[in-house]
Amino acid sequence: MGLKLWLSGLIKIPAAFAIITVCYFHFWFWNTISYIEVNPASDIYDFIVVGAGSAGGVIASRLSEDPTYSVLLIEAGGYPSPLVNIPLISSIFPSTPFAWNYQTEPQKFGFSASINHRSNWPRGKGLGGSSILNFLLYVRGNKYDYDHWAALGNEGWNYEDVLPYFIKSENNRGIFIDEQYHGKKGNLIVEDRAWKSNLPQAFINAGLELGYPYVDINGKNQTGFTIPQLTTKHGARWSTYSAFLKKPYYDRPNLKVITFAEVKKVLINESKQAYGIQYKRHGNLKTVFAAKEIILSAGAIASPQILMLSGIGPKEHLERLEIKVHSDLRVGENLQDHIYVPLTPLVHNDSSASLVNPFDLTAWWDYFIHGTGQYTSNGVDGMAFKSSRYCEPDWPDIQLHFLSYSAASDHGICVRHLMGLEENAWQELFEPVSYVDTASIFATLVRPKSRGWIRLRSADPLDQPIIDPQFYSHPQDVQVMLEALLFAQETLNTTAMKKYLHLHDARLPYCKDLPVDSHLYLECLIKYMSATLHHSVGTCKMGPSTDREAVVDSQLRVYGIKGLRVADASVIPVIPNGNINAPVIMIGEKAAHMILEHHKNNKIPKLFLKGSSHKFLSRNGDEL
């Protein structure tokens, strides 16, 4: 590959291993020292929130703003390491103690270049949940997504209803935004990218060349090209832990946080009342009680798992596992996710192309000493939305992510394993360019028709659930993804982009006999190279009582069970157009508001529990 490239690789590879080794050691060390015994101050709280992620952290924080309520927040992970705040190394986090490393079942219609045809599904484990390991993109989705939710029978969830909750959370410090759609006083800081390079502008120019406007995708219209905003503060990650749970919020006397506590089940009495939570910490089984409500915010995988372990789910499935059924609901159905196919690797035509090199030691100096440089970037330089032939022009179903790195950028240490890429695909497509700087365009399907499911593997809470997203089980998804790849090619072939980048002349080994510019080759890419954006939703579907798949109503109350709500990505009936962290935070804001309004308008006496009988008593001791 030439002496220059060989010398470059010789320097970069030891730096890569050194940096990642230090990071991994720190993550494990931090996880160990934060593993401190904490006992609840009481056995009974007004509200118990399970899961401190993008929704649960918001809910616990908002409920505890009222000092008359006591709130317990239970989290399976610990305190996030300071290193999670470095945007550029986000691909490392799923291999650390701060992630649940789930895997799907083998996929029939795609993921053929992934090991065993499985998809890796890491989810956040720690205060902040997946917001401590995601790629920090602030994307709300399309206004018609929420109008569609309302049209499905979910009163109070149309765009006009949810917009105030997006605005409430947001503290947007950007320049190019539609002011009327954004907040300036919220907890969640949203910024323009701190690292300036020439590639984002080249991407915008490519869009203009194709006739698409430069838009604020979170404003009036979504169709067009943009430079995405990030949930960062001065170039460092600003997770929901930073925004809602750190001091001064954590110091509230009425908010108790318990970490490293794995919830086993929700306790439900014969009257179908959820009255407590059973969890294990340091090997000890413990129980806490809720006087008013329990809110599950454990995410689209763990929330349905906990519900089913508690006897809420498909009757035939639970009875097969000998779990007592409290409510026969289609928990675990309606699973949806965003998937992409990378048009990659792209290599530079011009040495001035500002591509990410995560192992440039001067970049570490810039970040830690000055708070600047490429480590403040998440690597996503551009984003675009457009509609395929299957949908309306102003409600897109195609998204592009333009990245200034690829699976080759870290020499196969992290990104390759995050994708689950098998050896043959890595060696043929990425390894030959692992010595040079590379880029990618992700063609992304944001309104999939395919639906999957989650089931318990056993009645043991320690067993990971069975996850089958059924990717591409609806044939239209393949056709839309094909249009997305053609759109990615069209973007790359503009004058603005060709100045800096071109597609590396290598073919996926499974598709070598097909012409590289043909639809057949792109369809082969779809079959073999698809990967997930980790946007799983829908497994505790929100819907009216007439919807046979619905698990919660529009107030997020679980059907058939009193005192229990679910509020996280699992309640989403149809996945929104875009990265889901912002919508899940909105759900947390709206859920907290609904809960506070309900209890303000329903002055029920505070409830206590008597001994081990689990009967609810009023203040004077009379049984209710």
| Residues designated catalytic | 535
CA 540 to chain centre: 16
Number of alpha carbons in the 13 Å side-chain half-sphere of residue 254: 14
CA 356 to chain centre: 23
Number of alpha carbons in the 13 Å side-chain half-sphere of residue 423: 0
The answer to whether 263 is annotated as binding is yes
Q: How far apart, in whole angstroms, are the C-alpha atoms of residue 569 and residue 581?
A: 9
| Residue (of 2, 75, 21, 91) closest to 531 by Cα position | 91
CB count within 10 Å of CB 25 equals: 10
DSSP 80: P
| Residue (of 28, 45, 43, 31) closest to 127 by Cα position | 31
Q: In the block, which residue shows the tokens 């059973």?
A: 278
Which strand (E) or helix (H) includes residue 265? strand 262-268
- Residue 537 vs residues 73, 403, 417, 528: alpha-carbon distances, Å: 22, 24, 23, 24
Are 217 and 226 spatial neighbours (Cβ–Cβ below 8 Å)?
yes
Q: 389 is written with which tokens?
A: 């032939």
- Residue 353 vs residues 10, 116, 203, 584, 605: alpha-carbon distances, Å: 22, 36, 12, 35, 65
Maximum C-alpha span of the chain: 85
| Residue (of 575, 570, 562) closest to 541 by Cα position | 570
Specify binding-site residues for FAD. 263
